[in-house]
Amino acid sequence: MQFINFSKCVSPAVLITVGLLLLGVLTTWGQGYPRDTSYTVNSAYTKYKKKFPQIEIAKTLSSVRMEEGVVYRSIGARDLALDIFYPKDTAAKHPLVVMVHGGGWVSGTRDHLHPLASRLAGAGFVAATVSYRLSPEAVYPAAVHDIKFAIRWLKMQSNTYAIDSSQVAILGCSAGGQLAALVGLTAMDSLYESVNDCPASDKVQAMIDMDGVLAFHHPESAEGRVAGLWLGGSYEEVPAIWEEASALNHASAEDPPCLFINSSTPRFHAGQDDLIAQLSAFDIYTEVHQIADTPHTFWLFDPWLDPTTDWIVDFLYQMFEK
């Protein structure tokens, strides 16, 4: 079994934080790589149930087709997989939504987004929930490379999964929203080009960010030690990395239309107003919805998943002229 030496890629301060986190976190090595299993749908439910007694864990719909555990990338002995939901009608090709789970860049799993993915498939989209390397295994920009690779790979599988590769959206929640925004706004950027024999582009035609920060170092942001774990140090230690990983610093006239869906927790919207102003200056369409009196991870629960799905579907129908 091979262990990762974090001392070569992160600062001493971050190593101390890692040690403190591991006191209360179950980290498993059964698959040959470190996994933080602290964040689950059940743990979020337990956390929020007292304040929001009406919530229920959203269920995955069984009325669509699903293929689990499809390997899209292998890095040595490490396989990265995704789960694909798609309409039962595969006679025609459908727009693709690539979905990135949250968990503070340190935890979380792709099945957290199964309920939303199944609803998107029911609305006529192919939806793929993607696993990517988290900070216990690899720091930034590994996750960005993984997600961009997944987009390219899925485009190359367009015939297998009835995907219209000219109509692709990326969607993410929390840390996944940050990643979705960064990936969506850096298409074909040499900064994130890794060794890759896939000829397809990583460009997307729409981006959806649900409560993902757009600027790590910002007056509205409260990102701290967890972001530092992923970014390889605190802002004081690696300021250039914190700025580079912020989608706000990558706005351009080539960016896709963007949908933002917000909880009632302001810090997760850091940089959003600034980015919208930049995109508007380029005449790029943006849309914002805020759900009053909601927990951060509203997309995991009823009664909020259905209205969230409706906003996403309406936005994508408009973008893809369905």
H or E stretch covering 57: strand 56-57
The helix/strand/coil state of 69 is strand
C-alpha span between 240 and 226 (Å, rounded): 17
Q: Which residue has the tokens 């973008």?
A: 319
This prediction's pTM? 0.90
Per-residue pLDDT of the chain in tens (322 residues, 90 and over written 9):
344 443 444 444 444 344 434 433 444 444 678 999 999 999 999 999 999 999 999 999 999 999 999 999 999 999 999 999 999 887 899 999 999 999 999 999 999 999 999 999 999 999 999 999 999 999 999 999 999 999 999 999 999 999 999 999 999 999 999 999 999 999 999 888 765 667 899 999 999 999 999 999 865 565 667 889 999 999 999 999 999 999 999 999 999 999 999 999 888 888 899 999 999 999 999 999 999 999 999 999 999 999 999 999 999 999 998 6
Q: Are 142 and 179 in contact, with CB atoms under 8 Å apart?
A: no
Q: Are 116 and 85 in contact, with CB atoms under 8 Å apart?
A: no
Residue 56, beta-bridge partner list: 302
| Tokens matching residue 51 | 């304040």
Q: Are 144 and 179 in contact, with CB atoms under 8 Å apart?
A: yes
Residue 90, pLDDT score: 76
Domain boundary assignment for the chain = 6-320
The helix/strand/coil state of 130 is strand
Residue 287, beta-bridge partner list: 259
Residue 322, pLDDT score: 65
C-alpha span between 226 and 101 (Å, rounded): 16
C-alpha span between 224 and 235 (Å, rounded): 8
For residue 112, give the DSSP letter: G
Q: Are 123 and 311 in contact, with CB atoms under 8 Å apart?
A: no
| Tokens matching residue 205 | 């035609």
Superfamily of domain 6-320 in CATH is Alpha/Beta hydrolase fold, catalytic domain (3.40.50.1820)
